[in-house]
Amino acid sequence: MAQAGIHGIVGVVARKWTPASEWLVLGIVLGSLLPDADNLAVAVATVTGSPTAGLHRTFTHSLFTVTAVIIVFQLIAILTKRPRLGNLGLGLGIGMIMHILLDLLIWFDGVQLLWPLPMWINFWEGVTPPEWFSQLMMPVEMLFFALYFAGLAALAGRQGTDLGRVRGLKGWTAVQTILFLIFLVLVYTMESGFMTIYGAVYLLSLGVATVITIQMRQTIEAVAE
Ligand SMILES: [Zn+2]
């Protein structure tokens, strides 16, 4: 994972170059966030004592999955005669591809790009970041959630959209900032059990980010001047 917040921010920034089709940009931002929800499978496997190999950066980071998502949404859009669902599906596909590219470029790990084919693409083969850095990247997840929420709040204020949600959003920004500070201490001091607590909070935060993204869709989709 590159930090989910980074993916979210990149998704929102990309709207500048996106045609104004209803739910397209919403799809792009959600598609940017969601591939790392595969960590939920990792968490379930961990709790149930099953092997976790092959769960992260595989089925949700595959071009086959991207294609399937786009096709399924187009079909639903046609069948239900709701074209914006097609826009949403196309956006999800674009967002997922952006997520995968970002993962490949700025993370020290590979992606199973053509899952289920057993082929990993890794630009970082043979590069192992120092332990302290890998540890630091975990609390930094919370910092980027905070930045993503703060960015949405600022955007809403500037555009005059979703103003009723700005206060709540500022609250979530504060929560994520505090979580960042707490985990920053815990990651270097906790002897055991860190990953369990952190993993649960991370998945909850990703869920909150997904809900907030959907709630703030007017802000995300407003045409930037
Ligand atoms: Zn990822």
Residue pLDDT, tens place only, 19-45: 878 999 999 999 999 999 999 999 999
pLDDT band for 197, please (50, 70, 90 cuts). very high
**Is the pLDDT score of 112 beyond 90?**
yes
Q: How far away, in angstroms, is 36 Cα from ligand 1 center? A: 5
pLDDT band for 11, please (50, 70, 90 cuts). confident
Q: How far away, in angstroms, is 95 Cα from ligand 1 center? A: 11
Question: What is the predicted pLDDT for the residue at 1?
Answer: 47
What is the spatial distance between Cα 127 and Cα 129, in angstroms, rounded to a whole number?
Answer: 6
What is the spatial distance between Cα 198 and Cα 38, in angstroms, rounded to a whole number?
Answer: 15
Tokens of 71: 């096709």
What is the spatial distance between Cα 52 and Cα 186, in angstroms, rounded to a whole number?
Answer: 24
Q: How far away, in angstroms, is 159 Cα from ligand 1 center? A: 30
Q: How far away, in angstroms, is 108 Cα from ligand 1 center? A: 11
Q: How far away, in angstroms, is 62 Cα from ligand 1 center? A: 10
Question: What is the predicted pLDDT for the residue at 57?
Answer: 93
Q: How far away, in angstroms, is 100 Cα from ligand 1 center? A: 6
- Each residue's pLDDT tens digit, 138-169: 999 999 999 999 999 999 999 999 999 999 99
Question: What is the predicted pLDDT for the residue at 10?
Answer: 87
Helices (H) and strands (E) in the chain, counts: 9, 0
Question: What is the predicted pLDDT for the residue at 109?
Answer: 83
Q: How far away, in angstroms, is 39 Cα from ligand 1 center? A: 9
Tokens of 160: 């005059």
Q: How far away, in angstroms, is 114 Cα from ligand 1 center? A: 14
Question: What is the predicted pLDDT for the residue at 225?
Answer: 46
Q: How far away, in angstroms, is 103 Cα from ligand 1 center? A: 6
Instruction: Of 220, 199, 217, 145, give the one whose Cα is nearest residue 37.
Output: 199
- Each residue's pLDDT tens digit, 59-81: 999 999 999 999 999 999 999 99
pTM (two decimals) = 0.92
What is the spatial distance between Cα 90 and Cα 73, in angstroms, rounded to a whole number?
Answer: 8
pLDDT band for 133, please (50, 70, 90 cuts). very high
Question: What is the predicted pLDDT for the residue at 127?
Answer: 85
